[in-house]
Amino acid sequence: MVQITTRRTDFPKPLDMYKALDIYGKNLISTEGPEWRMHRKLAAPSFGEKNNQLVFTESIHHAKSLLGLWTGADGRGNKTVADPSHGAMNLALYIISSAGFDVRVVWPHEEGIPVADRKTEGRSMFVGSETPSGHQMNYREAIGELLHNIMWTIIIPPKYLLKSPIKFHRKVGKAVVEWGLYMDELYELKKKQVASGNAADGMDLFEALIRGSGILDEKTTELQKSDLLGNAFVLMLAGHETTANTLHFSLIYLAMNWSSQRRLQEDIENCMQGKPIQDWTYEEDFPKLFAGMTAAVMNETLRLLQPIVNIPKSTAPGRPQQITLGREQHTIPGGTHVWLSSAIHRNPKYWPGPADSPSNEGIQDVDCFRPERWLTSSNNGDDFVDINYDEEELRGPSGEDTSSQLFKPEKGAYIPFSDGFRSCIGRRFAQVEVMAVMATIFTQYSVELAVDDFASDDEVERMPKGGKQRRDLYQKACDRADYYLKEKMASIVTLQLRGVSIPIRLVRKGEERFLFDQ
């Protein structure tokens, strides 16, 4: 694994697999060599600490909106969310829209908020269900339709989608055109804002792309408008499903593992010390989350269910490469696709159990959700290191997949963000987003599996709290969830549940129906 990721020129990306991502222009994902260097240099400033602050703030804002959707107007919760993946997808989409383009998407259930109140928040644009003049889709519909159905743009070129006899295909094709128009408008708006000095305080990705391109000050540059739009699109795409999946499955795993959920809530309480959510800051609070149970939960979810199951590499035609396995050398022929498999995340050779686990659990432990395996004796976040993209140039992000206060897997044994020179440039963006959302949810609520298919609310209420009846009932929901996570997962673009869902409920802390001593 390490040999392949560190030998960048020997094992390039198979670019033929990524041509379909050039919908709006060449980009960081679909290029190699000098062209990739140019795109990397363009995109890197977008992911500095100023943007991370914006991600943290926007993640909290939209997490509150998601809670409003899932728990009702009174915030009491105990409502069944039939398919939490939908809410997680929209959450990730709206966060990347805010932090990526300075566009605050208004959730459908919040559209009654007066527009005047929104304008005071300093956003470039607010969008909801209205369709602006010159468009056939509203912004929310266009980007949602495009990203949720991106596979169709890979199978069928967008220009042919528009001509398809199938209505659904034509709708996806229209979304491609519509979001291109929205990006054009945002590009012109941002260009004017940056040139006039009226850009927002928090630097979104699009603003950073424009500033770094040299287009505004008319420097000699090879970059074109299509390069900015191409990178803006793939950054939106890459940060959508992957993050949504991590949030979705973290909630499911925590609902199935009460002891881990309680430990998470206690750790968040210790980190925040009763501070109101509106007073949380990236600079003060994220390092503590990154060094504790919140990060451990995220890391463990990514270990078990990495969104991208296999990371593609290749050998160039006519350039066979040698690798060493143990004491033997093997030759990989030129023109061969090589896949880095996330199966290494379940190799017991690299993964210890939690410190308090029996030593005889062996192989079974690697298939279990045990976020405690990441915790070490000291985790105070004092040594948090910012990712410095200005100094890193082309070496790969200098920040870490995990805090130095947590367990550090052997190099190459943990690849949720790939590894080496082509590792995910948006890694810290995703980490900030997931942990800010998790902290917002679990500082107020607990998550339970919904048991509606096995018993009504009235039947549950008649069962003694903490008793065998409730325990047996909840075990049925856990068994079903476990079966789905093992047998109903499939990967198209990312690894997701296919054809089924695992319903959940959020309940106020202290009002749990299925809290058992473990």
For residues 335 and 315, the answer to whether their CB atoms sit within 8 Å is yes
pLDDT on residue 117: 44
pLDDT on residue 377: 66
Lowest mean pLDDT, pick from 90-104, 313-327, 351-365, 381-395: 381-395
> How far out from the chain centre does Cα 434 lie?
7
pLDDT on residue 507: 97
Assign 128 a pLDDT band (cuts: 50, 70, 90): confident
Residue 443 phi, psi (nearest 5): -75, -20
Mean residue pLDDT of the chain comes to: 87
Q: Terminal CA-to-CA distance of the chain, rounded, Å?
A: 38
Is the model more confident about 504 or about 201? Answer: 504
Domains (ranges, CATH) in the chain?
18-238 (1.10.630.10)
> Is 424 labelled as part of a ligand binding site?
yes
pLDDT on residue 202: 56
What mean pLDDT do residues 72-101 have? 92
Tokens of 348: 């017991």
User: pLDDT tens digit string along 146-197?
Assistant: 988 988 998 999 889 999 999 999 999 999 999 999 999 988 888 888 888 7
Assign 50 a pLDDT band (cuts: 50, 70, 90): confident
pLDDT on residue 116: 42
What is 327-342 written as a DSSP string? TEEEEEPTT-EEEEEG
pLDDT on residue 204: 76
pLDDT on residue 154: 86
pLDDT on residue 515: 86
The rounded distance, in Å, linking the Cα atoms of 204 and 101 is 6
Assign 501 a pLDDT band (cuts: 50, 70, 90): very high
User: Angle at CA 251, nearest 5°, toward 248 and 252?
Assistant: 90
Proportion of the chain above pLDDT 70, given as a percent: 87
Lowest mean pLDDT, pick from 128-132, 308-312, 345-349: 128-132
The rounded distance, in Å, linking the Cα atoms of 236 and 352 is 35
Statement: residue 119 has pLDDT above 50:
no
pLDDT on residue 193: 83
> Could you tell me which residues come within 8 angstroms of residue 272 by beta carbon, excluding any fewer than 6 positions away?
280, 285, 439, 443
The rounded distance, in Å, linking the Cα atoms of 350 and 295 is 19
pLDDT on residue 393: 39
What mean pLDDT do residues 485-489 have? 96
Tokens of 360: 């005889």
Statement: residue 22 has pLDDT above 60:
yes
> How far out from the chain centre does Cα 334 lie?
34
What mean pLDDT do residues 360-387 have? 70
pLDDT on residue 383: 52
User: pLDDT tens digit string along 205-233?
Assistant: 788 888 877 766 655 456 788 988 999 89
What sections of 31-166 are H helices per DSSP? 33-43, 49-71, 84-101, 115-119, 139-148, 150-155, 158-161
What mean pLDDT do residues 227-243 have? 89
The rounded distance, in Å, linking the Cα atoms of 453 and 500 is 14
The rounded distance, in Å, linking the Cα atoms of 208 and 51 is 9
Question: How long is the chain?
Answer: 518
Statement: residue 384 has pLDDT above 60:
no
Of 202, 250, 281, 262, the C-alpha closest to 92 is 250
Statement: residue 113 has pLDDT above 50:
yes
pLDDT on residue 215: 65
Proportion of the chain above pLDDT 90, given as a percent: 59
